[in-house]
Structure 1
Amino acid sequence: MDIISGVERRRRWSKEAKLAILAEADQPGVRIGDVARRHDIYPAQIRLWRKMLSHFDVSATFLPVHLGQMPAAGGAPAPIKMQLRNGRSLKVPADIERKRQGDPV
Protein backbone atom coordinates (compact mmCIF):
# COMPACT_ATOMS: atom_id res chain seq x y z
CA MET A 1 0.00 0.00 0.00
CA ASP A 2 1.28 3.46 -0.90
CA ILE A 3 0.52 6.40 1.33
CA ILE A 4 0.78 9.73 -0.38
CA SER A 5 0.95 12.77 1.79
CA GLY A 6 1.58 16.40 1.09
CA VAL A 7 -0.02 19.04 -1.04
CA GLU A 8 -1.45 18.09 -4.42
CA ARG A 9 0.12 19.78 -7.37
CA ARG A 10 -1.82 22.54 -9.05
CA ARG A 11 -0.75 23.21 -12.59
CA ARG A 12 -0.98 26.56 -14.27
CA TRP A 13 -1.98 26.54 -17.93
CA SER A 14 -1.17 29.42 -20.25
CA LYS A 15 -3.98 30.85 -22.36
CA GLU A 16 -2.27 29.45 -25.46
CA ALA A 17 -2.16 25.94 -23.94
CA LYS A 18 -5.83 26.15 -22.96
CA LEU A 19 -6.79 27.30 -26.45
CA ALA A 20 -4.78 24.47 -28.02
CA ILE A 21 -6.55 21.89 -25.84
CA LEU A 22 -9.93 23.48 -26.60
CA ALA A 23 -9.19 23.42 -30.34
CA GLU A 24 -8.30 19.74 -30.05
CA ALA A 25 -11.55 19.02 -28.16
CA ASP A 26 -13.60 20.94 -30.76
CA GLN A 27 -12.56 18.73 -33.67
CA PRO A 28 -15.43 16.75 -35.23
CA GLY A 29 -15.76 13.27 -33.77
CA VAL A 30 -13.42 13.94 -30.86
CA ARG A 31 -14.62 13.15 -27.35
CA ILE A 32 -13.79 15.54 -24.52
CA GLY A 33 -12.95 12.63 -22.22
CA ASP A 34 -10.29 11.37 -24.63
CA VAL A 35 -8.67 14.81 -24.89
CA ALA A 36 -8.79 15.21 -21.10
CA ARG A 37 -7.02 11.87 -20.56
CA ARG A 38 -4.28 12.79 -23.06
CA HIS A 39 -3.58 15.99 -21.11
CA ASP A 40 -4.15 14.47 -17.65
CA ILE A 41 -7.05 16.76 -16.73
CA TYR A 42 -10.72 16.26 -15.93
CA PRO A 43 -13.31 16.73 -18.71
CA ALA A 44 -15.01 19.32 -16.49
CA GLN A 45 -11.84 21.44 -16.72
CA ILE A 46 -12.16 21.58 -20.50
CA ARG A 47 -15.81 22.59 -20.20
CA LEU A 48 -14.90 25.29 -17.66
CA TRP A 49 -12.15 26.70 -19.92
CA ARG A 50 -14.57 26.69 -22.85
CA LYS A 51 -17.10 28.65 -20.82
CA MET A 52 -14.54 31.08 -19.38
CA LEU A 53 -12.64 31.77 -22.59
CA SER A 54 -15.73 32.13 -24.77
CA HIS A 55 -16.54 35.38 -22.96
CA PHE A 56 -13.07 36.83 -23.39
CA ASP A 57 -12.00 35.54 -26.81
CA VAL A 58 -10.94 38.58 -28.80
CA SER A 59 -9.89 36.53 -31.82
CA ALA A 60 -13.41 36.17 -33.16
CA THR A 61 -13.75 35.06 -36.74
CA PHE A 62 -16.28 36.79 -38.94
CA LEU A 63 -17.67 35.09 -41.99
CA PRO A 64 -19.42 36.83 -44.86
CA VAL A 65 -23.18 36.35 -44.91
CA HIS A 66 -25.20 36.63 -48.09
CA LEU A 67 -28.72 37.91 -47.48
CA GLY A 68 -31.13 36.88 -50.21
CA GLN A 69 -34.82 37.51 -50.55
CA MET A 70 -36.89 35.58 -48.02
CA PRO A 71 -40.62 34.97 -48.25
CA ALA A 72 -42.75 37.24 -46.09
CA ALA A 73 -44.67 35.71 -43.19
CA GLY A 74 -48.15 37.20 -42.87
CA GLY A 75 -47.26 40.31 -44.87
CA ALA A 76 -44.35 41.29 -42.60
CA PRO A 77 -40.75 40.58 -43.62
CA ALA A 78 -39.49 37.36 -42.02
CA PRO A 79 -36.68 37.84 -39.49
CA ILE A 80 -33.25 36.49 -40.36
CA LYS A 81 -32.13 33.69 -38.06
CA MET A 82 -28.53 32.43 -37.96
CA GLN A 83 -27.76 29.22 -36.11
CA LEU A 84 -24.34 29.39 -34.46
CA ARG A 85 -22.01 26.45 -33.90
CA ASN A 86 -22.35 26.63 -30.13
CA GLY A 87 -26.11 26.04 -30.39
CA ARG A 88 -27.12 29.63 -29.88
CA SER A 89 -28.98 31.52 -32.56
CA LEU A 90 -28.97 35.13 -33.67
CA LYS A 91 -32.13 36.79 -34.98
CA VAL A 92 -32.10 40.12 -36.76
CA PRO A 93 -34.95 42.00 -38.42
CA ALA A 94 -35.21 41.54 -42.19
CA ASP A 95 -34.92 45.27 -42.74
CA ILE A 96 -31.49 45.46 -41.08
CA GLU A 97 -29.21 48.08 -42.59
CA ARG A 98 -26.88 46.27 -44.97
CA LYS A 99 -23.29 47.29 -45.52
CA ARG A 100 -21.41 46.19 -48.60
CA GLN A 101 -17.82 45.04 -48.52
CA GLY A 102 -15.63 48.12 -48.72
CA ASP A 103 -18.27 50.47 -47.29
CA PRO A 104 -17.02 52.59 -44.39
CA VAL A 105 -17.96 51.22 -41.00
Structure 2
Amino acid sequence: MAKHKAPKPIPKFASEAEERAFWETHDTAEYVDWSQARLGVFPDLKPSTETISLRLPAGLLAELKTLANQRDVPYQSLLKVFLAERVARERAARRGALPNRPLQRAARAPSRTARR
Protein backbone atom coordinates (compact mmCIF):
# COMPACT_ATOMS: atom_id res chain seq x y z
CA MET A 1 0.00 0.00 0.00
CA ALA A 2 1.38 3.41 -0.99
CA LYS A 3 2.29 5.73 1.84
CA HIS A 4 0.51 9.10 1.76
CA LYS A 5 2.96 12.02 1.66
CA ALA A 6 2.32 15.03 3.86
CA PRO A 7 1.37 18.07 1.79
CA LYS A 8 3.94 20.80 1.23
CA PRO A 9 3.31 24.07 3.07
CA ILE A 10 1.58 26.70 0.92
CA PRO A 11 3.87 29.72 0.51
CA LYS A 12 2.85 33.23 1.56
CA PHE A 13 2.04 35.50 -1.36
CA ALA A 14 2.54 39.25 -1.59
CA SER A 15 -0.40 39.70 -3.96
CA GLU A 16 -3.25 37.88 -5.63
CA ALA A 17 -1.39 38.11 -8.95
CA GLU A 18 1.62 36.38 -7.42
CA GLU A 19 -0.60 33.63 -6.02
CA ARG A 20 -2.36 33.21 -9.37
CA ALA A 21 1.00 32.87 -11.14
CA PHE A 22 2.10 30.26 -8.59
CA TRP A 23 -1.00 28.07 -8.96
CA GLU A 24 -0.81 28.26 -12.76
CA THR A 25 2.47 26.34 -12.58
CA HIS A 26 1.97 24.12 -9.51
CA ASP A 27 -0.33 21.19 -8.81
CA THR A 28 -2.58 21.71 -5.78
CA ALA A 29 -2.36 17.99 -4.97
CA GLU A 30 1.18 18.59 -3.70
CA TYR A 31 -0.04 21.28 -1.28
CA VAL A 32 -3.55 20.22 -0.25
CA ASP A 33 -4.88 16.94 1.11
CA TRP A 34 -8.05 16.80 -0.98
CA SER A 35 -9.19 13.60 0.77
CA GLN A 36 -10.12 15.82 3.73
CA ALA A 37 -12.00 18.38 1.64
CA ARG A 38 -15.65 19.11 2.37
CA LEU A 39 -18.26 20.53 0.06
CA GLY A 40 -18.83 24.24 0.67
CA VAL A 41 -22.41 25.46 0.92
CA PHE A 42 -23.26 29.12 0.41
CA PRO A 43 -27.00 29.49 1.14
CA ASP A 44 -27.05 33.30 1.01
CA LEU A 45 -25.23 33.59 -2.30
CA LYS A 46 -27.31 35.67 -4.70
CA PRO A 47 -27.44 34.88 -8.42
CA SER A 48 -25.10 36.99 -10.52
CA THR A 49 -27.50 37.14 -13.46
CA GLU A 50 -30.62 39.19 -14.06
CA THR A 51 -33.70 38.19 -15.97
CA ILE A 52 -34.61 40.47 -18.87
CA SER A 53 -37.34 40.50 -21.47
CA LEU A 54 -36.10 40.88 -25.02
CA ARG A 55 -38.18 41.00 -28.18
CA LEU A 56 -36.47 39.54 -31.24
CA PRO A 57 -37.69 39.24 -34.81
CA ALA A 58 -39.11 35.73 -35.34
CA GLY A 59 -36.63 34.97 -38.12
CA LEU A 60 -33.64 35.98 -35.99
CA LEU A 61 -34.86 33.83 -33.11
CA ALA A 62 -35.35 30.88 -35.47
CA GLU A 63 -31.79 31.28 -36.81
CA LEU A 64 -30.43 31.53 -33.28
CA LYS A 65 -32.26 28.34 -32.27
CA THR A 66 -30.92 26.55 -35.36
CA LEU A 67 -27.34 27.59 -34.55
CA ALA A 68 -27.79 26.54 -30.92
CA ASN A 69 -29.21 23.19 -31.98
CA GLN A 70 -26.21 22.58 -34.26
CA ARG A 71 -23.92 23.24 -31.28
CA ASP A 72 -26.14 21.24 -28.90
CA VAL A 73 -26.51 24.14 -26.46
CA PRO A 74 -29.58 26.06 -25.24
CA TYR A 75 -30.29 29.06 -27.44
CA GLN A 76 -30.28 31.42 -24.44
CA SER A 77 -26.74 30.29 -23.59
CA LEU A 78 -25.59 30.82 -27.17
CA LEU A 79 -27.14 34.29 -27.16
CA LYS A 80 -25.21 35.12 -23.96
CA VAL A 81 -21.97 33.97 -25.60
CA PHE A 82 -22.66 36.06 -28.71
CA LEU A 83 -23.47 39.13 -26.61
CA ALA A 84 -20.40 38.70 -24.39
CA GLU A 85 -18.12 38.34 -27.44
CA ARG A 86 -19.54 41.46 -29.07
CA VAL A 87 -19.32 43.53 -25.90
CA ALA A 88 -15.69 42.45 -25.44
CA ARG A 89 -14.93 43.38 -29.06
CA GLU A 90 -16.58 46.80 -28.66
CA ARG A 91 -14.67 47.42 -25.41
CA ALA A 92 -11.38 46.45 -27.05
CA ALA A 93 -12.11 48.67 -30.05
CA ARG A 94 -12.71 51.63 -27.74
CA ARG A 95 -9.34 51.01 -26.13
CA GLY A 96 -7.69 50.88 -29.54
CA ALA A 97 -6.77 47.21 -29.24
CA LEU A 98 -8.29 46.33 -32.60
CA PRO A 99 -7.48 47.77 -36.02
CA ASN A 100 -9.65 50.69 -37.04
CA ARG A 101 -12.69 48.95 -38.39
CA PRO A 102 -16.11 50.53 -38.58
CA LEU A 103 -18.34 49.31 -35.80
CA GLN A 104 -21.44 50.03 -37.83
CA ARG A 105 -22.30 49.26 -41.39
CA ALA A 106 -20.62 51.74 -43.73
CA ALA A 107 -22.79 54.04 -45.80
CA ARG A 108 -23.57 52.71 -49.26
CA ALA A 109 -21.46 54.01 -52.10
CA PRO A 110 -23.36 55.98 -54.75
CA SER A 111 -24.60 53.94 -57.66
CA ARG A 112 -22.56 54.03 -60.89
CA THR A 113 -25.62 54.58 -63.01
CA ALA A 114 -26.80 58.15 -63.15
CA ARG A 115 -30.37 58.81 -62.17
CA ARG A 116 -32.49 60.53 -64.82
**Same fold by TM-score greater than 0.5:** no
With structure 1 as the length reference, what TM-score do the two structures score?
A: 0.28
Relative contact order, higher structure (CA 8 A, sep 6+): 2
Computing the radius of gyration from Cα coordinates, the structure with the larger value is 2
Query: Which one has a larger percent strand, Structure 1 or Structure 2?
Result: 1
